[in-house]
Amino acid sequence: AEAEAAREARAKVIAAEGEQKASRALKEASDVISESPAALQLRYLQTLSTISAEKNSTIIFPLPIDLIVSFMKGFKMTPTE
């Protein structure tokens, strides 16, 4: 029982170290992407490419709100009579 507890404790430490490394990598990636707006778009397209290679049936395609707002401004909403 004591050996099993020690193994579980080591596993938790290893998992925590992995999370820490992953967090650092994500922070570095966000720093790179924040320097170039096109980088985020390229990453998104890369993700779409990866998803499309799988046999998924649903892809969520986010649109920027400012694009939708400017599109909707082109339509005048008139009440129906």
* Domain definitions of the chain by residue range: 2-56
What confidence tens digit (pLDDT) does each residue in 14-65 have?
999 999 999 999 999 889 888 887 888 888 888 888 887 877 677 777 777 7
Q: How far apart, in whole angstroms, are the C-alpha atoms of residue 5 and residue 52?
A: 43
CA angle 6, 8, 13 (to 5 degrees): 95
48 in Cβ contact with 56 (< 8 Å): no
Distances (CA, A) of 66 to 15, 45, 46, 60, 76: 40, 20, 23, 18, 17
Model-level pTM? 0.51
